[in-house]
Amino acid sequence: MNSLHSLITLAGLSILGLTEPSPELQQLIPGVTSTAALALRFVLANTGTSTAFSNIASTEKATDNASTIEAAPELTDAERACFYAVIRQFETPGEQFCTGCSNCLPCPKGVDIPACFRQYNIDTVYGVKAHAHGAYLKLPKNQRASACIHCGECEARCPSHLPIMEQLEQVRTRFESPQA
């Protein structure tokens, strides 16, 4: 996962309506007030960026984005180090993150593999546990990780060579076990 994909994923949390940064992000980057402001500030701090696109669904969000751009000074070395620490956290597992490409589909049993992994990552990486758990349980039962029969068809099609069956078992344990 590259830096751009990491921040797009981070910014995507605000699209989900998760405007408050998780405790994990607040701990890594103190002073963060919104997920969108964090992502926008990072994108604008990169010298290779000439344009930043933000999903603006309301006047309030447009005002927040404009305030972020106007008020955001040049990133300090400490802030830049924090941003890259977050990115390294995503890259630590290497190719162990699903990119959501959907090449693993269709699953013969109907498991929505990218949706399962998306909710698992929102829970474990971002710490937005209640949202991820609720969204996962809204998936029809045949699309959940527990419907996997371990046929391996998905792994044969995965361009990242992920251990999908093993990871689906982690998803199942996280969201469907009695202690979940």
- Is position 98 within any domain? no
What size, in residues, is the chain? 180
Domain of residue 34: give its range: 3-92
| 124 and 73 in a common domain | no
Q: What is the pLDDT of residue 149?
A: 97
pTM of the model: 0.58
Distance CA 103, CA 160 (A): 10
Question: Which pLDDT score, from 0 to 100, does residue 28 have?
Answer: 60
Same domain? 119 vs 82: no
Indicate the residue among 92, 127, 150 that finishes a domain. Answer: 92
Total domains present in the chain: 2
Per-residue pLDDT of the chain (180 residues; tens, 9 = 90+): 334 444 444 444 444 445 566 666 666 666 666 766 777 777 777 777 777 766 667 787 778 777 777 776 667 787 778 777 766 665 554 456 788 889 999 999 999 999 999 999 888 877 788 999 999 999 999 999 999 999 999 999 998 889 999 999 999 999 998 876
Last residue of a domain, one of 92, 126, 155: 92
Alpha-carbon gap, residue 165 to 180, rounded angstroms: 19
Q: Is residue 103 part of a domain?
A: no
122 Cβ contact partners less than 8 Å away, ≥ 6 residues apart: 13, 16, 128, 131, 132, 135
Does 125 reside within a domain?
A: yes
Looking at residue 26, its pLDDT comes to 66
What per-residue confidence (pLDDT) applies to 70?
75
